[in-house]
Structure 1
Amino acid sequence: MTRHVVVLGAGTAGTMLANRLRRKLDDTWAITVVDRDDAHPYQPGFLFVPFGGSTDGLVRSRHAFVHDGVELVLEGVDRVDAAAREVLLLDGRLLPYDYLVIASGATLRPDQTPGMLGPEWRRSIFDFYTLDGAKALAGALRDFRGGRLVVHITDVPIKCPVAPLEFTFLADDWLRERGLRNETELVFVTPLDGAFTKPVASAHLGSMLADREVRVESDFLVEHIEDRTLVSYDGREVPFDLLVTVPLHMGAEFVTRSGLGDELGFVPVDKHTLRSTADAHIFAVGDAADIPTSKAGSVAHFSVDVLVDNLVELAAGRPMSHSFDGHANCFIESGDGRALLLDFNYETEPLPGTYPAPYVGPLSLLKESRANHLGKLAFRWVYWNVLLPGRPMPLAPAMSMVGKHVPTTTSQEEVRHAGHHA
C-alpha cells in the first residue's frame, strides 16, 4: 500500500525537503510537491540587481532541481482539508496525504499599506525583494542625482531580515563611488527599536550605520504613505525622494482559508519539531512557519535537516527524536567588497568568532572581511548544486559555541537572556 507525503511549495525549503526525503524513504512512500509555476528564483541575488548586478541565472526551472522520484505538480492550492487529510487544488484535483508539509513561503503584500500601491509605485516607491522590483529600482538609481533616499521595513517578520541593512550599506558605497553621497540623505526606517533583533548584533550594526552617517528612525510603524511621505501610527512623518521599501509579508492565502494560519497566514508550529499545533499530520518549514528566528535560507536548510530525520522516524513508526534549535546564519554585505557573517539560534545571539571551522574559519563572525563577501558570492553555486538537490553539506544543523567568544562587556547569561527576548 502506497503512503503519501505532500509538500506544498517548491521553493528553497520544499525542494530540499522533497529531495532529501526521496533519498531516505523507500518506494512505499510517494512524494508529491505542489507549486503554482515552474520558476524557482535565487532570491539573495536580487540584492545586487539595483546596483548593476546581472540577472542571468537568477531564475531557473523548478523541474531541473526536483528528484526524478518526486512528482512535481504545477497548480495552485485552494485549501487543505485536515480532517480528510486531503489537499484540494484550484483545478479540482484532490491529493491525499499521510503527512503534509507546508513550505509555501512568505509573500509580499504592498496592498496592505494604504498608499504604497498608489501612483508612486515603481516611480518613487520601489522594492528589491522581487526581480521585477529590483530591475525597476536599478533604473531609478541610474537616474538618481541626490535627495532623501529612505530604506524602509513595513513590519516583521520578513524574508532575510538583514537584507534592508545590506541594501543601505551597498547604497552608501554606490553613492560614494558616484560622488552623490554628499548630495544624499540616507535614512533607515524600521519598526524595531534598533538595527537588528538581537542586542549585540543590533549595537554593532547600528554603529556601522552611524559611521556611514545613516539616520535611523526606529520604532516606526507605517500607517499610510501620502505625498512621498511615510506616516506612522504615532503621527511621525518621514518624507522621501526615493523610497526603497520592504512591504508587509504574509503567508499563503490557502493557509488562511484552511484555518491553519495565524493573523499573518503563517503556520503556528512547535519550534523544535516544526509540527503544526493544530494537526499532528501537518508540518511547516521555511518561511511558511511561525518559528521565532529569521526567515532565511540557512534556517530552511538546518530545519529541513531536522524535519527529514523526524519524518523518516515517523514513517518507520517511531517517535520523533530530533530537535531544531533555531540555527541561522546570515551574510551581510557592507560595501567596498566586504561582508559580515552572523551565526545564532533561539537561545544565543550573534557573537564574534570564526565559521565554519572553530578558530580557523575562514569566515569571520560579526566582523567585516573580504572572505565573507566572497563566501556570499560563492553561495549561489552551492545553492543550485548542493542545497537544492539535497546533497549532504558538512554543516551540522545545530549551532556550536566552539570558536565563538562572548564580548567582555556581555556575560553569557545576558546573551542567553537577550536571545529569549529577541
Structure 2
Amino acid sequence: MTKRVVILGGGTGGTLTANRLRRRLGDDVEIAVVDRDDRHVYQPGLLFVPFGLAHPEDLVRSRGRQLHAGIGFHRSAVDHVDIETDRVVLDDGTVLGYDVLIIATGVELQPEETEGLTGPEWGRKVFTFYNLEGAAALEGALSHFDGGRVVVNVVDLPIKCPVAPLEFCFLADWYFQERGIRDRVQLTYVTPLDGAFTKPVAAKVLGGMLEEKGIELVTEFNTGSVEDGALVSYDERRVEFDLAVVVPLHGGAAYVGRSPGLGDELGFVPTDQVTLQSKVKPNIFVIGDASALPTSKAGSVTHFEGDTLTANVVRFLAGEPLDASFDGHANCFIESGFGQAMLIDFNYDTEPLPGHFPASVGLPLLKQSRLNHLGKLMFSWLYWHSLLPGRDIPGIGSHMPEAGKHGVAQGKE
C-alpha cells in the first residue's frame, strides 16, 4: 500500500521537503502539501520594501507552481490535527490521513497580543515590515517622514530572522543619509535583550556598529503596551516615537493550539534537535520556524534542516534508525547599508566568529563587505531556482563548516 506523507505549510520548509521527497521516493509515496493560500512570499525581500529597494509584487509567486509534478496541493487552512488517529482535518471539511506528518507552518505574527499595538496609531505611526502589507505601508510612511524619532522595537523573542530588526536600523541610517535628512532623524533600537544580539561576539560587533552609526540602543526593554506615541515597558519605562517600526510577538500556527498534545504553550512543536522528529509522536516531523528548537528561526536554518529531515522521513518509512545529524546550523547576511553587508555563521555549539565562509578562502565573517551584500542579493535567485526545488547549493553543506573560523574552540558554549 502506498504510504501517505502530509506536509502542513507551503512555505520554505514545506516546499523544499516535498520536492526533495518527491525526487527521492517518486511514486512510492503519496505527498500532499496544505496551505491556506497560494501566495509564496520571499520573506528576506521584505526588509528592502520599505526603502524602495524591492517591490512587493516581485516577492510573491504561486505556492503550487513551486511544487514538482506529482505532489498534491490543498488550498485550505488547517482546523486541527488528531495525532491519535493520524488525521488532519481542514477548514473546508477535507480529512487527510497520513503515515507521516511534516509540520512546516512556521510562525504567525500576533500584534493583537500587545496592548495598544493595533490601536489608532497602527498603520499611521506604528508599522511592521514582517509581512508584505506592513512593509508596503511602511514604504509610504518613510517616504513622507521628514524628521523626528524613529524607534525600531522587538517586542519579545523568538522572532523570524533575529537580525532583521538590526538590518532595518542600518538601512534606515543609510536611507535618511541618502535623503539628506539624517541629522533630523533620531534612530533608536529597543530590544528585550541585554545587548544588540543573543551571541556575545556578534553582540559586541553589532553593538559597535549601532554606536558608529549614531543609533541609540535601549536594552532589557519588555514592551507591555503602545500608547500616545510611546512604547511602555512592563516596568513603566517609556520610549517616545514619531514613527515606530515594531516586530510583534510571534507564535505557532493557530491550529496547533486546537490539536491536543501537538504543541507547547506558544504553539511551537517540541522537536528532537538532531533528528527533527517530533517529541509528540514518532511519525510526526518538524521543519523550520514551527519547531521549538533552540536555534534561530531563519530561512537558512530551514534550508540546512532539509537534508536531515528528508533522510529521516525516508528512514522512518523504511523502518530504519534515524540520522542524528542536524547541528543547528544557521547562516545570515546582515545588510549594513551603503552597499555592504556582514555574514554570520553558527550552530548549537559555536557562536558567530570571525574568519571566512565556507572555508579559509571565502566570504568574510563578522566583517562588512561588498561581497556579502552581493551574496545576499544573489540568494534570491538561488532561493527560487535551487533551494525550493530541493537542489543542493554548490559549496554550501548542511553542517556548519569549522574551516576558516578563528577560534572555534573558544566559541563553544
TMscore range, shorter length: over 0.9
RMSD, aligned α-carbons:
1.0
Q: Distance in 1 between matches of 2:233 and 2:248?
A: 14
1:337 is aligned to: 339
Q: Distance in 2 between matches of 1:199 and 1:209?
A: 15
Give 1:28 shift.
Answer: 2.6
- Matched ranges for 1:229-248 at <5 A: 229-248=230-249
1:118 is aligned to: 119
1:295 is aligned to: 297
Q: Is 2:144 aligned against 1:143?
A: yes
Q: Which amino acid aligns with 1:299?
A: V
1:82 is aligned to: 83
Q: Distance in 1 between matches of 2:4 and 2:29?
A: 6
Instruction: State, as a whole percentage, how many aligned pairs show the same letter.
Output: 57
Give 1:40 shift.
Answer: 0.3
5+ residue gaps, structure 1, are 418-422
Q: Is the 8 A contact 1:309 1:322 kept in 2?
A: no
Q: Distance in 2 between matches of 1:257 and 1:69?
A: 30
Q: Deviations over 1:140-188 (max 9, x none)?
A: 1111111110000011111111000000000001111112111111110
Q: Is the 8 A contact 2:276 2:308 kept in 1?
A: no
Q: Is 2:371 aligned against 1:374?
A: no
Q: Is the 8 A contact 2:382 2:393 kept in 1?
A: no
- Matched ranges for 1:22-33 at <5 A: 22-33=22-33
Runs of 4+ residues deviating >2 angstroms: none
Q: 1:274 aligned to 273, 276, 286, which one?
A: 276
Q: Is the 8 A contact 2:263 2:269 kept in 1?
A: yes
Q: Is 2:98 aligned against 1:97?
A: yes
Q: Is 2:219 aligned against 1:218?
A: yes
Larger CA deviation: 294-303 vs 19-28:
19-28
Q: Distance in 2 between matches of 1:272 and 1:412?
A: 21
Q: Distance in 2 between matches of 1:254 and 1:338?
A: 40
Q: 1:315 aligned to 314, 317, 323, which one?
A: 317
Q: Distance in 1 between matches of 2:65 and 2:280?
A: 34
1:350 is aligned to: 352
Q: Is the 8 A contact 1:196 1:202 kept in 2?
A: yes
1:402 is aligned to: 403
Say how many residue pairs are matched: 410
Q: Which amino acid aligns with 2:333?
A: F
Q: Which amino acid aligns with 1:416?
A: K
SS in 1 for 2:138: helix
SS in 1 for 2:412: helix
Q: Distance in 1 between matches of 2:58 and 2:384?
A: 10
2:17 is aligned to: 17
1:182 is aligned to: 183
Q: Which amino acid aligns with 1:174?
A: Y
SS in 2 for 1:25: helix
SS in 1 for 2:177: helix
1:412 is aligned to: 409
Q: Which amino acid aligns with 2:39?
A: A
2:285 is aligned to: 283
Q: Is the 8 A contact 1:169 1:334 kept in 2?
A: yes
Give 1:321 shift.
Answer: 2.1
Q: Distance in 1 between matches of 2:374 and 2:90?
A: 42
Give 1:412 shift.
Answer: 2.8
Q: Which amino acid aligns with 1:393?
A: I
Q: Distance in 2 between matches of 1:28 and 1:201?
A: 46
Give 1:253 shift.
Answer: 0.6
Q: Distance in 1 between matches of 2:393 and 2:211?
A: 37
SS in 2 for 1:37: coil
Q: Distance in 1 between matches of 2:392 and 2:164?
A: 27
Q: Deviations over 1:275-315 (max 9, x none)?
A: 11121111111010111111111100000111101111112
Give 1:26 shift.
Answer: 4.1
Q: Is 2:154 aligned against 1:153?
A: yes
Q: Distance in 1 between matches of 2:200 and 2:177?
A: 29
- Matched ranges for 1:55-74 at <5 A: 55=55, 56-74=57-75
Q: Distance in 2 between matches of 1:44 and 1:207?
A: 24
Q: Is the 8 A contact 2:275 2:324 kept in 1?
A: yes
Q: Distance in 1 between matches of 2:54 and 2:237?
A: 38
Q: Distance in 2 between matches of 1:234 and 1:277?
A: 36
Q: Distance in 2 between matches of 1:393 and 1:370?
A: 21
Q: Is the 8 A contact 2:308 2:323 kept in 1?
A: no
Q: Deviations over 1:263-286 (max 9, x none)?
A: 211111111111111211111110
Give 1:64 shift.
Answer: 1.3
SS in 2 for 1:57: helix
SS in 2 for 1:33: strand
1:265 is aligned to: 267
Larger CA deviation: 9-18 vs 386-395:
386-395
Q: Which amino acid aligns with 1:276?
A: S
1:420 is aligned to: none
5+ residue gaps, structure 2, are none
2:386 is aligned to: 386
Q: Deviations over 1:237-269 (max 9, x none)?
A: 101000000011111011111031112111111
